[in-house]
Amino acid sequence: MSLERKIRSFLKGPRKGETFELKAGLVSQYKGERKDAIQRVIQAMTVGKDVSSLFPDVLKNIATYDLEQKKLVYLYLMNYAKTHPELCILAVNTFVQDTEDPNPLIRALAIRTMGCIRVARMVDYMEIPLSRTLKDDNPYVRKTAALCVAKLFDLNPEMCVEFGFLDQLKELVKDSNPMVVANSLNALYEIRDMNTDQSLKVFTVNEQIIKNLLLCLNECTEWGRITILTTLNEYETTNVEEANHIIERVTPQLQHVNPSVVLSSIRAIIHHIDTIPVTAQRTSILKKLSAPLVSLVSSSIPEAQYVGLKNIRIILEKYPQILSKELRVFFIKYSDPLYLKLEKLEIMVRLANDSNSALLLGELKEYAMEFEPSLVAKAIKSIGSVAIKLAGSTVKSINLLINLIDQRGGDLIINESIVVFTNILRRYPGKNDLNSLVIPVISNHIQDMDRNDALSGYIWLLGEYPKYFSNLHDKLQVLIDDFLEYDSVLQLNILTTVVKINLASSKGTQYSGLLQKVLELSTKDCENADVRDKAYIYWRLLSSSSTKSQKDIILTKLPPIKTTIATFNPVVLEALVDELSTLSSVYHKPAFTFIDKSAYSRLPVDKRTKTSSKENIEDLTNLAKQEIINNSKNENLLDFDDDEDGATESLGSGAGSLLDELNDLFTTPAPAIQHSGDQPASSNNDILSLFNAVPQSTPQSVNSVTQGVSEYSIGSKTNSNNNNKVNNDLLDLF
Amino acid sequence: MASQIHFLDIKGKPLLSRDYKGDIPSNTIEKFPLLLLDLENSMDEGDFKPLINHQGINYVFINHNNLYLCALTRKNENIMAIIVFLSKLIEVLTQYFKSLEEESIRDNFVIIYELLDEMMDYGVPQTTDTKILKEYITQDYYKLIRSTPSHLVQPPNAVTNAVSWRKDGIVYKKNEAFLDVVESINMLINASGQVLNSEILGEVKIKSHLSGMPDLRLGLNDKGIFSSTSDMEEGAAEQPSNAKGIEMEDIKFHQCVRLSKFENERIITFIPPDGEFTLMSYRLSSAQFLMKPLILVNCKTKTHKHSRIEILCSVRAQIKKKSTANNVEVIIPIPDDADTPKFTPEYGTVKWIPEKSCVIWKLKTFPGGKQFHMRAELGLPAVIDNDDILSKKPIKVNFSIPYFTTSGIQVRYLRINEPKLQYQSYPWVRYITQSGDDYTIRTK
């Protein structure tokens, strides 16, 4: 129906719509209108609209004295440079001129933007401006140029080294301005990360540089300080005097208001502390770290507090004494977000000692009365950890838990407490008083247990301390009756317990019926292979071997557990201490376990226009695809009446002929796309294959297909139009 | 450090983005809403973290006013620095636009791009000081262009100077410096009136109206500063804490203070930025001394299920008779479904705030040593669902006490010396003690 009209209108290009208006604005003869149009283009870009088709028109506005307009055009360039790599070259002239501008702000802006235009050909024009700005009188320009060296290395490492930019950058590390020093260091780090050439020595820190940096440290901005402190962390020295000097210089930074400066200082100090031979001196340095560590927790940014807590946990493991008096700081505040509360509990448990245990337990009890389930669960676990860590507080902790069960009750508390009880009894095996304190409580709450970990604890206790349980036979009977309904973990536990009880009781007859039952159940009716295997092993063992070996194997005591507080493996710990304040310190995993190696290698730059145009096409095909899907959704509803009769018929046969038409259609504009070279043919194929696929899957969307095509065509049309027009326009410009 | 920075709305939809390095595909952030959703679903288990690692890309984000600020990175970067940078970004933008929210981002995208450009380059943080940024990135472009040709908009020297926080050539007719010593008290008190945890967070704020490049020297009566506690020489020898002086711990200074001078000689010297800033902050924690509550609240609630709740509350100001506490607010939590309030305060006014489920008892002035009572009664619905959620919300107290510092810190002198101008100057000092964010009393 309207297909022809649509195709015709597509051939003419859009006469109205936002893009058209913007285009008109951009080429307006009035300054104000042009600026306004640029702003609107950037706004459209911000909300995610693709305004790359306006590239040539925006580019025309680059030569301006209006700083704000210049910034906006540059911003646009950075974002869309990839879509029109060859046109970027037209901007080079302005860039080069701008790097000679008397205003340092513009010089810096130009060199900064040049580096951000990730187009291979841009590199060729960067040599002169970059070497000029690197030697600029104004430190603001120099610091910007320093980072630009890293950007250049990213684009073309060979050239960066060849033209001596890397060496110049190394010289800048000795610059008189601290800001320039910091940025050069950062640039060198970036280059080092990107470098794949083994033979290229990017940067090694030596004594002289360190000396220099230490002098700079006090004059830097907070971010510069972090850079220098990071460098100090990487520097290795065996010289005691030097290490002392470094620590001395870094210590004042602990009082900086920025928590990341504080944490970086702590890291640098810890890194060098081992070089100092005198233990007393080391302790006194460590003592100075405790207040700054605490200050991390009182930061006003909860996210920063979280990072602080995670780091404190690592440091605590390396130096357990460092915060021994600071327990109260970690008390939970009502307004803390949950993740902070849980993390604080982790620290509190680690700080528990005999002198603060009463205070801590009282506090933990409060938390167990809160309403967030995960906090309550963690509080109960923590009470258990304290009981296990400090022998002196065990009875108190147990009474506390019993109190909680009585006062508050509820599934959560009971289950958690029973798990904790089991752990405590495993820590202090065979203690009569503890057993007689704990086991009656567990017996009273058998009905409330519904979690596997609690139940398996209970079942294990049955087997371990049968004489403390009354009505043992009945209890076992209940378990065996439901045997097949339990999880395999519990089945294994029940099996072991029954075997143990049977073997331990002198007159085994009482339980032999149960034993028989459980063995039969697990070998005949149970589906889990592990359970069956275990049952067979027990069965064979009981029927063949001597009583002694039976007892040796089955009644072996488990080794007492030492702690329920998680600790790091020593190797991991060392790695983490060295990576304090980084992401790995929060994940508690060394960097190599989660960082993609390729993150440190250079990125592929679009060397040839081919790849970029291919990407371009791919983007467009995606766009078209999206459009088709959207349209088919919309139009199906709208066209419901129109197509009622002809729809099915036109779709099957219509699609084929339509595609032919479209095919013709595409060949026309293709040659106009000069920059894609031999690409258009294949790109059209891409698109055609897309359309081939679509009509088959959603045959009713003939209309939408054309819609999609015209969408795409608008893009390519403007491209081709642009090329002709633009070339003229831009040539005028220069 | 960060490859990309994004501003997102509460659902994770991007509002404004800036790509600094180009090493992460630009559509990566589109995954953020889904990741956020996953995170929120697992939040009940306390799994929430301000960072996500997904397919080798780390999303570091902080929340502000229903906005997320998210930085993406692929490397093992200094996360603390990233988080602090993001919060600095919020701070700067807030100072530029009064409040940072979706609306103000949309309205000011041009200037935000400019600021992002100036504050970070290739992922490395640059200048984050609002005062300096305002020198050369202004909202009022038109004005600027008219008055000066744009050639003259220069980067202020301060950006790269050693003194990066003050520009040259400031002139005031009357040279004054106002010093405020503000101490915020955080206290955790259990239901029986016993102090569990307390800390003083002190700040010395300065508003400087001084010409030129003045050099200031501040003298305090603090032991920790003047008796050299630098125990470098003493080794591990335990220093007996001197009971008489105030020992501050964890002192943090504004970047203008010469840290090494302080470390070595215990003298606070600095060239102040112009206008208002926080010179130093300090903390005195309960590890040193447990204070008795300044404002003691005793609250008894009696709940008659299905009918009403009775609250009996008494407040006592345990401060010197001469001092007065101002604007005291006692915020008492009540059940969500309470209604028909009846209040009989002995003094002050009581208000019921149903949307926050609390009653607020306000006492405008509260002389030291006095005690007041208040009785409140609220109805409860006859039908209650069985969920007996234990609401353990604590009572919160807000107050401020002028002319008084809890720690007893005093400013001995503030010497102002401008070597070139040599003017007469007037320092002013004020003291105030107020409640911190967390002055709470637990309920039973």
DSSP letter string, B16-40: EEEESS--S-TTGGGGHHHHHHHHH
Nearest to A260 among B58, B84, B114 (CB): B84
Q: How far is CA B392 from CA A408, A703, B260, B359, B380, in A?
A: 13, 62, 47, 15, 18
Look at residue A351 in the predicted model and tell me its pLDDT.
92
DSSP state of A675: G
Chain B contact probe: residue of A220, A580, A583 with most B CBs at under 10 A: A583
CB–CB of B283 and A71 under 8 A?
A: no
Nearest chain B alpha carbon to A362: B196
Contacts of B152 in chain A (CB under 8 A): 103
Nearest chain B alpha carbon to A257: B252
Look at residue A305 in the predicted model and tell me its pLDDT.
92
Structure tokens belonging to residue A383? 């009470």
Residue B318: helix, strand or coil by DSSP? Answer: coil
| Residue of B396, B392, B394 whose CA lies nearest to B439 | B396
Chain A contact probe: residue of B1, B7, B76 with most A CBs at under 10 A: B76
Between β-strands B195-209 and B176-189, what pairing exists: parallel, antiparallel or unpaired?
A: antiparallel
A601 has pLDDT over 70: no
How close A430 comes to chain B (CA, Å)? 35
Residues B121 and B20: beta-carbon distance below 8 Å: yes
Q: How far apart are CA A193 and CA A200, in angstroms?
A: 12
A193 has pLDDT over 90: no
Look at residue B46 in the predicted model and tell me its pLDDT.
58
Which residue do the tokens 């040193």 mark? B288
A721 has pLDDT over 70: no
CB–CB of B56 and A295 under 8 A?
A: no
Distance of CA B403 to the CA centre of its chain: 22
Contacts of B53 in chain A (CB under 8 A): 583, 587, 594
Whether the CA torsion A499, A505, A511, A516 is positive or negative: it is positive
Task: Tell me the pLDDT of chain A averaged across its residues.
Answer: 78
**0.95 surpassed by pTM:** no
- What spatial distance separates the first Cα and last Cα of chain B, rounded to whole Å? 48
| Residue of A520, A508, A517, A510 whose CA lies nearest to A550 | A508
Look at residue B129 in the predicted model and tell me its pLDDT.
85
A603 has pLDDT over 70: no
| Residue of A169, A166, A92 whose CA lies nearest to A129 | A92
Torsion on CA atoms A382, A385, A391, A397, rounded to nearest 10: 30
Residues B133 and B119: beta-carbon distance below 8 Å: yes
Fold for the domain defined by A3-234 = Leucine-rich Repeat Variant (1.25.10)
Split at pLDDT 50, 70, 90, the class of B361 is very high
* Percent above pLDDT 90 for chain B: 12
Structure tokens belonging to residue B53? 């690692």
| Residue of A72, A64, A85, A83 whose CA lies nearest to A36 | A72
Q: Does A131 lie at the interface with B, CB-CB under 8 angstroms?
A: no
**Model confidence pLDDT, tens digit, residues B306-354:** 788 888 888 988 888 888 888 999 998 888 888 888 888 888 899 888 8
Split at pLDDT 50, 70, 90, the class of B81 is very high
- Provide the greatest CA pair distance for chain B: 78
How close B84 comes to chain A (CA, Å)? 7
- The top-scoring range by mean pLDDT among A148-157, A191-200, B278-287 is A148-157
Split at pLDDT 50, 70, 90, the class of A697 is very low
CB–CB of B236 and A308 under 8 A?
A: no
CB–CB of B122 and A48 under 8 A?
A: no
Nearest to B75 among A143, A187, A193 (CB): A193
Split at pLDDT 50, 70, 90, the class of A647 is very low
| Residue of B290, B294, B333 whose CA lies nearest to B311 | B333
Residues 6+ apart with CB under 8 A from B321: B367, B368, B369
Look at residue A468 in the predicted model and tell me its pLDDT.
86
Q: How far apart are CA A416 and CA A425, in angstroms?
A: 15
Look at residue A526 in the predicted model and tell me its pLDDT.
84
Q: How far is CA A266 from CA A71, A232, A270, A618, B219, in A?
A: 40, 11, 6, 49, 28
User: Which residue intervals of chain A bear CATH 1.25.10.10?
Assistant: 3-234, 316-541
Residues 6+ apart with CB under 8 A from A608: A120
A6 has pLDDT over 50: yes
- In terms of Cβ atoms closer than 10 Å to its own Cβ (0-12, 13-18, 19+), residue B81 is buried
Whether the CA torsion A694, A700, A704, A709 is positive or negative: it is positive
Nearest chain A alpha carbon to B249: A291
> φ, ψ for residue B415 (rounded to 5)?
-95, 130
Look at residue B381 in the predicted model and tell me its pLDDT.
78
Q: Find the helix or strand (DSSP H, E) in which B311 lies.
A: strand B308-317
- The top-scoring range by mean pLDDT among A430-434, A616-620, A695-699 is A430-434
Other CB atoms within a 10 A radius of the CB of residue B411 amount to 17
Residues A439 and A449: beta-carbon distance below 8 Å: no
Residues 6+ apart with CB under 8 A from A685: none
> φ, ψ for residue B246 (rounded to 5)?
-95, 125
Contacts of B76 in chain A (CB under 8 A): 579, 582-584, 591, 595
Residues A53 and A718: beta-carbon distance below 8 Å: yes
Look at residue A410 in the predicted model and tell me its pLDDT.
82
Chain A contact probe: residue of B80, B190, B205 with most A CBs at under 10 A: B80
Residues B284 and B200: beta-carbon distance below 8 Å: yes
A362 has pLDDT over 80: yes
Contacts of A139 in chain B (CB under 8 A): 160
Q: How far apart are CA A198 and CA A205, in angstroms?
A: 18
Nearest to A583 among B79, B109, B281 (CB): B79
Averaged pLDDT, A529-533: 89
Residues B167 and B159: beta-carbon distance below 8 Å: no
Q: How far apart are CA B441 and CA A647, in angstroms?
A: 74
Determine whether domain A316-541 maps to CATH 1.25.10.10.
Answer: yes
More confident site: B392 or A613: B392
Q: Does A137 lie at the interface with B, CB-CB under 8 angstroms?
A: no
Q: Does A286 lie at the interface with B, CB-CB under 8 angstroms?
A: no
Residues A295 and A545: beta-carbon distance below 8 Å: no
A664 has pLDDT over 50: no
Q: Does A166 lie at the interface with B, CB-CB under 8 angstroms?
A: no
Nearest chain A alpha carbon to B251: A255
A65 has pLDDT over 50: yes
- Rg, chain A, Cα only: 37
Q: Does A510 lie at the interface with B, CB-CB under 8 angstroms?
A: no
Residues 6+ apart with CB under 8 A from A508: A502, A515
Nearest to B46 among A78, A102, A339 (CB): A339
More confident site: B7 or A596: B7
Split at pLDDT 50, 70, 90, the class of A435 is confident
Contacts of B255 in chain A (CB under 8 A): 221-222, 256-257
| Residue of B221, B187, B202, B444 whose CA lies nearest to B318 | B187
CB–CB of B80 and A304 under 8 A?
A: yes
- Rg, chain B, Cα only: 26
How close B226 comes to chain A (CA, Å)? 16
Which residue do the tokens 């910007």 mark? A144
More confident site: A631 or A553: A553
A302-318 and A259-273 helices, crossing angle to 10°? 10
**How many residues are present in chain B?**
444
A676 has pLDDT over 60: no
Structure tokens belonging to residue B117? 């450009």
More confident site: A224 or A89: A224
Structure tokens belonging to residue A611? 């790849």
Chain A contact probe: residue of B115, B124, B444 with most A CBs at under 10 A: B124
Whether the CA torsion A582, A586, A589, A593 is positive or negative: it is negative
* Percent above pLDDT 70 for chain B: 83
Residues A670 and A662: beta-carbon distance below 8 Å: no
**Model confidence pLDDT, tens digit, residues B180-207:** 999 888 888 888 777 877 888 889 999 9
Nearest chain B alpha carbon to A342: B46
Q: How far apart are CA A156 and CA A124, in angstroms?
A: 10
CB–CB of A582 and B79 under 8 A?
A: yes
CB–CB of B87 and A295 under 8 A?
A: no
A327 has pLDDT over 50: yes
CB–CB of B122 and A371 under 8 A?
A: no
- The residues with which B285 forms a beta bridge, in sequence order, are B199
Residues A196 and A602: beta-carbon distance below 8 Å: yes
| DSSP count for chain A of H helices, then E strands | 37, 0
CB–CB of B46 and A338 under 8 A?
A: yes
A113 has pLDDT over 50: yes
Residues B215 and B415: beta-carbon distance below 8 Å: no
Nearest chain B alpha carbon to A283: B236
Stretch 695-714 of chain A: residues touching chain B, C-beta under 8 Å: none
Averaged pLDDT, A352-362: 90
Q: How far is CA B272 from CA A252, B210, B257, in A?
A: 19, 9, 8
CB–CB of B252 and A363 under 8 A?
A: no
Q: How far is CA B68 from CA A114, A117, A407, in A?
A: 30, 28, 42
Q: Find the helix or strand (DSSP H, E) in which B125 lies.
A: strand B124-125
CB–CB of A72 and B113 under 8 A?
A: yes
Nearest to B283 among A150, A151, A295 (CB): A295
* H-state helical runs in B52-188: 79-97, 102-107, 109-119, 130-136, 141-147
| Residue of A603, A733, A734 whose CA lies nearest to A26 | A733
Residues A189 and A233: beta-carbon distance below 8 Å: no
> φ, ψ for residue B255 (rounded to 5)?
-65, -15
More confident site: A684 or B117: B117
Residues B213 and B246: beta-carbon distance below 8 Å: no
Stretch 663-682 of chain A: residues touching chain B, C-beta under 8 Å: none
Nearest to A334 among B43, B110, B440 (CB): B440
Which residue do the tokens 């100077």 mark? B161
Nearest to B255 among A112, A222, A280 (CB): A222
Q: How far apart are CA B387 and CA A17, in angstroms?
A: 58
A695 has pLDDT over 70: no
Residue B193: helix, strand or coil by DSSP? Answer: coil
| CB pairs < 8 Å spanning A and B | 275
* Percent above pLDDT 90 for chain A: 13
Averaged pLDDT, A96-104: 86
Q: How far apart are CA B1 and CA B122, in angstroms?
A: 8
Q: Does A622 lie at the interface with B, CB-CB under 8 angstroms?
A: no
Q: How far apart are CA A365 and CA A376, in angstroms?
A: 9
Chain B contact probe: residue of A42, A222, A286 with most B CBs at under 10 A: A222
More confident site: A710 or A108: A108
| Residue of B221, B216, B176, B215 whose CA lies nearest to B412 | B221
Whether the CA torsion B412, B416, B419, B423 is positive or negative: it is negative
Which residue do the tokens 């070597």 mark? B419
Averaged pLDDT, A593-617: 52
